[in-house]
Amino acid sequence: MLDLIISTVTQGFIYALLSFGIYITYKILDFPDLTVDGSFPLGAAVTAVLLLKGVNPYLTLLAAAVVGAIAGFVTGFIHVRLKVRDLLAGIITMTALFSINLQIAGSNLSIERGIDTIFTSPVAMTLLGSATLLVRKLIISLIILIICKVLLDLYFKTKSGYLLKAVGDNSTLVTTLAKDMGRVKIIGLVISNALVALSGAVVCHEQRSFSSTMGTGQMVFGLATVIIGTTIFRNLSFVKGTTAVIVGSVLYKICIQIAINLGLPANLLKLITAVLFLIILVIGNFHKGTVRKNAGA
C-alpha cells in the first residue's frame, strides 16, 4: 500500500514538469498548445535512443529539453511568423512529431536492466544507495522537480519573465513597450516544450521504455492539473503558480490511482480523463461567470 502511494506521488512529481509547461502556455500566454502531445514522447524517444547508445543518463535529460525547446520554437514560428492559428500551429507540429519520434526511435523501445538510468546510475547509488529503488525514484524526481521549480520561479522575476506575463495579460501593452510580442510568445513556447520533453524524458527513465503513443492525451492531462491546482489556490495569492500546479498534478495522479484500485478498467482511463476534464472546465467556467457578474454589479 505504502509502495503504491510512493509510486503515485512520484508520478505526480514527474508529470508536474509537463504541467509547468502547460502552465506557461495555457495559464500565462493563453495559448492552447497541442505540441505537447508530440514533444512529450519526443523527449522520451531522444532519451531512449541516447540511453541505448550509452550516453550519460543525466545528459539525456538535457538533450531532451533541447529538442523539446526546438519543437516549441517550430510551433511558435508557425503561429507567429506564418500567422497560423494557435491551435492549428500546435496540431501541425504534433502531427509532424509523431513521424519524427518514430524516425528517431525506429520503433517502440525498451531499455534493458543492464543500462543505468538516472535512478540507478553510480551517482544516484552513492548518494541514495541505501534506499529502495522506489524511494530513490521519489527523491530523484523530487530533486529534478524542485530544481525546475526554483529556476522557473526565478525566471518569472526577471524582466524577460515579466514580459512573458505581460503578453498573456495585455499584448497591446507589450507592443507599446516597443517589444515584439510574437518573439515573447515564441520564448514562452520554447520554455514550455523544453519542460514537457524533460517530463517525457524522466518518464522514459522511470518506465525504461518509449512508446510512440505515450503522448496521447498529455495536453488534456496537463490542462486538468493546471486548472485543478490554480482553482484550489485561487484565493491564496501568495501560493506560487508552480506550487499550485505541483499539487494539481499529484492530486490528479492520486485520483486516477484510486479509480483504478476501485476496479476501473484501464481501457476507460482516457474516457474518465475526458469526463473529469469536462467537469473541471464547467466548474471553472461557472466560477468565472459568477466573478464577472459580481465585478459588473
Interface ranges with other proteins (CB under 8 A):
155, 157-163, 165-166, 169-170, 172-181
**Rg, the chain, Cα only:** 19
| 262 phi, psi to nearest 5 deg | -75, 0
- b/e per residue 65-99 (b: at least 16 CB within 10 A): bebbbebbbbbbbbbbeeebebeebbbbbbebbbe
Closest CA to 17 of 199, 225, 248: 199
- In the bound state with other proteins, the residue whose beta carbon lies nearer, of 128 and 163, is 163
Is there a contact between 246 and 150 (Cβ–Cβ < 8 Å)?
no
Separation between Cα atoms, residue 62 and residue 181, nearest integer Å: 28
* Residue whose C-alpha cell reads 497560423 in the numeric block: 84
- In the bound state with other proteins, the residue whose beta carbon lies nearer, of 148 and 276, is 148
CA dihedral 279, 189, 101, 18 (to 10 degrees): -50
Q: How many CB atoms lie within 10 A of CB 134?
A: 15
Is there a contact between 31 and 231 (Cβ–Cβ < 8 Å)?
no
Separation between Cα atoms, residue 43 and residue 33, nearest integer Å: 16
Minimum separation from the CB atom of position 14 to other proteins (A): 27
Query: Which amino acid would we find at residue 211?
Result: S
Determine the distance from the C-alpha atom of residue 138 to the mean position of all C-alpha atoms in its chain, rounded to a whole number.
17
Q: How many CB atoms lie within 10 A of CB 143?
A: 14
DSSP, collapsed to helix, strand or coil, labels residue 178 as coil
Minimum separation from the CB atom of position 140 to other proteins (A): 27
Query: Which amino acid would we find at residue 177?
Result: L
